[in-house]
Amino acid sequence: MQDYRIANVPLSERRRGADRGTIVARFDNHDAHEEVRFLFVRIGNLWYFDDASQGGPEGWTLSALLRERP
């Protein structure tokens, strides 16, 4: 499905050590409840986006999707 109707988007932060963190976005898309994790890494004093993922039977990671592209 390529149509989206996003609603109810609470965000939460999870630390995985001093230099790694995850922002978890949970949201409703039409009748489905979904969760996307945005992974960040700290280099020096700056935080950088590292990857994004969604679990479940149709789960994906952004890095794997980009590797599949020609």
Say whether pTM exceeds 0.95.
no
Architecture of the domain delimited by 6-65: Roll (3.10)
Tell me, what's the pLDDT at 2? 65
- Tell me, rounded to whole angstroms, the distance of Cα 42 from its chain centroid: 17
pLDDT by 10-residue block (mean), the chain, 70 residues: 72 85 88 88 96 88 90
d(Cα 60, Cα 2) in Å, to the nearest integer? 15
**pLDDT of amino acid 12:** 83
Torsion of CA 21, 17, 46, 35, to 10 degrees: 0
